Amino acid sequence: MKHPAPSVAHLDFVAGIPTLNLADFTEGQASDRQRFVNDLGAAYREVGFVAISGHGVPPSLIASMYESAQSFFGLPVEAKLEYERPEHSRQRGYVKFGTEHAKDSKAADLKEFWQVGQTDIPPNSAPADYPPNVFVNETPELEGKSNELFKALESVGCQMLRAIALHLGLDEMYFEPHVPGGNSILRLIHYPPITTEPQSGVRSGQHEDINLITLLVGASASGLEVMDKEGEWTAVTALPEHLVVNVGDMLQRLTNHQLKSTTHRVVNPPRELWGSPRFSMPFFCHPRPGMSLEALPQCVEEGQSPIDPPITAGAYLAQRLEEIGLTSSQEKRKA
């Protein structure tokens, strides 16, 4: 199915990506909602990233989460390693510095992170799909804050997916059976200060996200860059009140690559800022594991075959986690 050529020329831009107000969709009149749907679709076809205001996530919650993250990452390494869970494909708890790498890259990312998952687990779900969350004795406030932020960002993600569904000509509630209760992840990332001459100019190698969409709370420092259609890098630093929301590979597969999972990376700061750490908090919005990622019929031209073979979200996630170093065939056999 062909769509009109997208245009984002009329949109406001912040640091290289289009800016939209989600309240136009959630609280606006019919014309406001349709304009948001059209603009979001154009942005995702042309750029793959948008900055969203009007999302309703309290700034105080975000600020308190950053405080808790700094407290946790300030613990001794030995203490943090007590909360590592390789048996759960490192999808919960602590992941130590230098573990994850970009797909098709052997260079480890210069980060450590902590992850929390779904608490409203759908009935009859396989335990392996929803491992238990891990919480930290030394920073007990982290549990309540992270659960609250998880639910707030999941709610925003559901609203964004409703707009995406309308853009694709689907029922507005198309994603509703799949995403509330989905296998989403809230990740707190710490990029430590740079203390020696780095071997590379990047802290996190160029990659595309695995999930449907990613909601990124404004990072504590600059560094995010997005690759444009010409292969050039554009720096993105959203305003504090914005969420940066981008298309992931699952949504790209579902739309037969009509919506763009854009390559991005995190680069090192200027030398004068090497002594400063960087924190960020992405929310990776995943569907339930059984959701099919087979290309939607309306996204496949008549007489053509889908670009990607059919696969479920759970199988695709398992495949990608091995590719980026968070699990291995040996670890899966042990589990």
> Which helix or strand (DSSP H or E) is residue 313 part of?
helix 313-323
- How far out from the chain centre does Cα 198 lie? 26
CA distance 78 to 177: 41
Question: For residue 5, what pLDDT is reported?
Answer: 47
Where do we find the tokens 């999808």?
Answer: 91
Amino acid letter, residue 252: Q
The fold of 54-334 is Jelly Rolls (2.60.120)
Backbone angles phi, psi at 12, to 5 degrees: -75, 145
Running along the chain, 335 residues long, what does each successive block of 10 average in pLDDT? 54 72 96 96 90 92 91 94 89 85 70 92 90 92 92 97 97 95 93 76 79 84 78 80 92 95 85 83 95 95 92 92 68 43
Positions of E strands within 37-155: 49-53, 93-95, 112-117
Q: How far is Cα 295 from Cα 219, in angstroms, rounded to an integer?
A: 33
Please report the pLDDT score of residue 285 as a whole number. 96
* Residue 162: predicted pLDDT: 98
**Sheet containing 233-235, strands listed edge to edge, beginning at the edge strand earlier in sequence:** 202-207, 264-267, 224-227, 233-235
pLDDT score recorded for residue 334: 44
Closest CA to 184 of 118, 129, 88, 89: 118
Find where tokens 């260079």 sit: 107
pTM of the model: 0.89
